[in-house]
Amino acid sequence: MLSAGMGDSEPNNQQPTPTDRLKEALCSKTSFQQYYLELAEMAMGTYKHIGRLRFARLIGRDLASFYSELGETGKAVVFLMDALRSYEEQGWRDLAAQTRLELVAAAHKMNDMDRYTKLSATIACTAELEILVRNFYFEEMLKCIKEKLSDKQDTVLAELNDCFKLVSATLIPSERGVYITDNKVQCRLLLECNLPKEVTCTRTAISIEPCKEDRNESGKRTPVKCYKTDLTVNGSVSTQTNSPRKSTSDVVESELSNIVS
């Protein structure tokens, strides 16, 4: 019924026309999927070639939805991660927030608790989302940490740059005025928490790296000698004081040249 009004192609065509391919796609589910993926890939390549990366990522999100409906969640995650990376690099925070919601649903469907917990923490700190959504994923984060990740032997590491912001770091002075070997160094940190509810931190740790200053390898500059010149004219000859001493032969030659002149 869908292809009834399309008409037939000319019999002289050796290659199938777009009308023939569309009819074939409408008659078979497998042909439709193959034709759809081929057109989507061609469209993404064209948009990338002309520099329209945002439109290419939008097609990628459509492909992610297509693969999710087919049950191939792993392929959907690849397209969503590419889109999220592009949105974060170019500062599209609203699109990034919506993409995280799609990613967290895919992680829950794949039973990937590590990724689900990390995404839940990031979503809970996203100011572009409603507070009810943020509170829900905050509770999901705590629930996964207590029930799913507490029994794991390996520590789960996550970047929480969106959750906490370092406001200031102050080094507390020593009682003696200076720090010596085996002294305890105390530091006061002020952090801003972007989570929607209060959290209790039982342990904190900081990483300290030595700061090396760029210095000259020699460490000292080559001394420069400065000589003063006396510009007082005595006849037609000027003299220079505090200059390196001349040898006797140089002085004699200079006097002879003055007498001849």
| pLDDT, position 54 | 82
- HSE, side-chain direction, 13 A CA sphere, residue 137: 26
pLDDT exceeds cutoff 80 at 44: yes
* pLDDT tens per residue, range 148-190: 777 777 777 778 888 888 899 888 887 777 777 777 888 888 8
Compute the distance between CA of residue 95 and CA of residue 153 in angstroms, rounded to an integer. Answer: 35
User: Which has the higher per-residue pLDDT, 40 or 238?
Assistant: 40
Angle, CA of 27, 29 and 31, to the nearest 5°: 75
* pLDDT tens per residue, range 185-242: 888 888 888 999 888 878 777 777 887 766 555 555 555 444 444 444 444 444 444 4
| pLDDT, position 21 | 67
pLDDT exceeds cutoff 60 at 81: yes
Closest CA to 126 of 159, 106, 100, 90: 100
| pLDDT, position 90 | 86
206 φ, ψ (degrees, to nearest 5): -125, 155
CB burial of 133-148 (b: ≥16 within 10 Å; e: otherwise) equals ebebbbebbbebeeee
Mean per-residue pLDDT of the chain: 77
CATH for 18-152, options being 3.40.980.10, 1.20.1050.10, 3.40.50.1100, 1.25.40.10:
1.25.40.10
| pLDDT, position 103 | 94
| pLDDT, position 3 | 54
Distance separating the N- and C-terminal Cα atoms of the chain: 121
Beta-strand relationship, 164-171 and 187-193: antiparallel
pLDDT exceeds cutoff 50 at 243: no
- Give the count of beta carbons closer than 10 Å to the beta carbon of residue 126: 21
Q: Which of 10-19, 65-74, 192-201 comes out lowest in average pLDDT?
A: 10-19
Compute the distance between CA of residue 249 and CA of residue 123 in angstroms, rounded to an integer. Answer: 90
* pLDDT tens per residue, range 94-120: 999 999 999 999 999 999 888 999 999
| pLDDT, position 94 | 92
Residue 114 amino acid letter? D
Q: What is the DSSP string of the chain?
A: -TTTTS----TT-SSPPHHHHHHHHHH-HHHHHHHHHHHHHHHHHHHHHTT-HHHHHHHHHHHHHHHHHHT-HHHHHHHHHHHHHHHHHHT-HHHHHHHHHHHHHHHHHTT-HHHHHHHHHHHHT-TTS-HHHHHHHHHHHHHHHHHTSTT-SSPPP---TTTEEEEEEEEPPPTTSS--TTPPP-EEEEEEE-SSS----S-------PPPP---SS-SPPP---------EETTEE--SSPPPPPHHHHHHHHHHHHH-
| pLDDT, position 216 | 56
Q: Residue 20's pLDDT band (boundaries 50, 70, 90)?
A: low
User: Which has the higher per-residue pLDDT, 18 or 89?
Assistant: 89
Residue range 7-25: average pLDDT? 64
